[in-house]
Amino acid sequence: MKKVNKDVIHNKVREVAEMVKITHLLDKLPAQCSGGESQRVAVARTLITDPSAFLLDEPLSSLDAKLRREMRAEVDRLHKELNKTFIYVTHDQEEAMTLADRIVVMDEGEIKQVGSPIDIYNNPNSYFVADFFGSPSMNLISGEVVTDEKGKAFRSLILNIDLPDRFVGAVPGPATLGIRPERIEIRDSGNAQKKIYLVEPLGKDTLLYFETEEERELIAIVDSNSTFRAGDTVHLDLLPQHIFLFESDGKRILN
């Protein structure tokens, strides 16, 4: 046991309580605290020991959406204020994207990719990472790479597309094509003609869901001012510079 003067303890408790904004809870019993307040108390208990690093194991998983957003902002503020290492374990990709300087993506105990949030999002190295990050997640279309008179192409039940020159080295065979919903454009002509079966307004953006010949959905993000309606048939143009290819084992086919 550390022998610490009572005045020092009192001052430290007040200092940490002010830092995490729980001074109004100091006279409360644990059972009288709400979920968000209990989370702040747990963080304060760790702060008062002045560790060199923090390990937070899914600290917000039991909170509702509003409290999660509030506590996420608190954790981010403390991280910047204390300037110490935070190791934050979460299954919520939104938490990982908004809080992390670097992300370690793991699957069944195996490290799949390490990088900054923007690098993980823009350059996933596998099907698993591409599917996990993003809301909505990346469109992933099963098919095969073939060689024709124009070069390499991707063929599937959903769409057929000539591949950019950077995939000239792709080996013909089963593959998965990936593209983010925001990288699909609606035009007068394009790579595929599809019928919209659901329009989902989200305020700033609108999600368009398309009928496909597979169980997996095909989604595009458009401006909220668009006038598309369920039942409309449109042409989809997949921007070639933003296409990903993955081998049958999930590894990304690089340029």
Each residue's pLDDT tens digit, 76-87 = 988 898 888 999
* Separation in Å, CA 10 to CA 6, 7, 30, 178: 6, 5, 19, 56
Residue 241 lies in a domain: yes
Choosing from 55, 86, 101, the residue where a domain stops is 101
For the domain that residue 185 is a member of, what is the CATH number?
Answer: 2.40.50.140
What is the domain count for the chain? 2
* Residues 93 and 153 reside in one and the same domain: no
* Separation in Å, CA 89 to CA 18, 82, 127: 26, 19, 21
- pLDDT tens-digit series, residues 96-146: 999 999 999 999 999 999 999 999 999 999 999 999 999 899 999 999 999
Per the structure block, which two tokens stand in for 136? 């909505």
Residue range of the domain that includes 84: 6-101
Residue 110 lies in a domain: no
Higher pLDDT, 168 or 40: 168
pLDDT the model gives residue 147: 92
pLDDT the model gives residue 85: 93
Residue 255 lies in a domain: no
- Computed on alpha carbons and rounded to an integer, the radius of gyration of the chain in Å comes to 24
Per the structure block, which two tokens stand in for 29? 């019993």
* Contact predicate 117/243, CB 8 Å: no
* Residues 80 and 179 reside in one and the same domain: no
Residue 78 lies in a domain: yes
pLDDT the model gives residue 22: 81
* 105/123 Cα distance (integer angstroms): 13
pLDDT the model gives residue 67: 78
* Contact predicate 94/118, CB 8 Å: no
For the domain that residue 56 is a member of, what is the CATH number?
Answer: 3.40.50.300
- pLDDT tens-digit series, residues 159-201: 899 998 899 888 999 999 999 999 999 987 777 889 999 999 9
Choosing from 76, 101, 126, the residue where a domain stops is 101
Identity of residue 148 = D
- On the question of pLDDT at 244 being above 60, the answer is yes
**Parallel/antiparallel/unpaired status of strands 151-155 and 160-162:** antiparallel
- pLDDT tens-digit series, residues 214-239: 777 899 999 999 899 999 999 999 98
pLDDT the model gives residue 1: 42
Mean pLDDT of the chain: 88
Residue 252 lies in a domain: no
* Residues 182 and 93 reside in one and the same domain: no
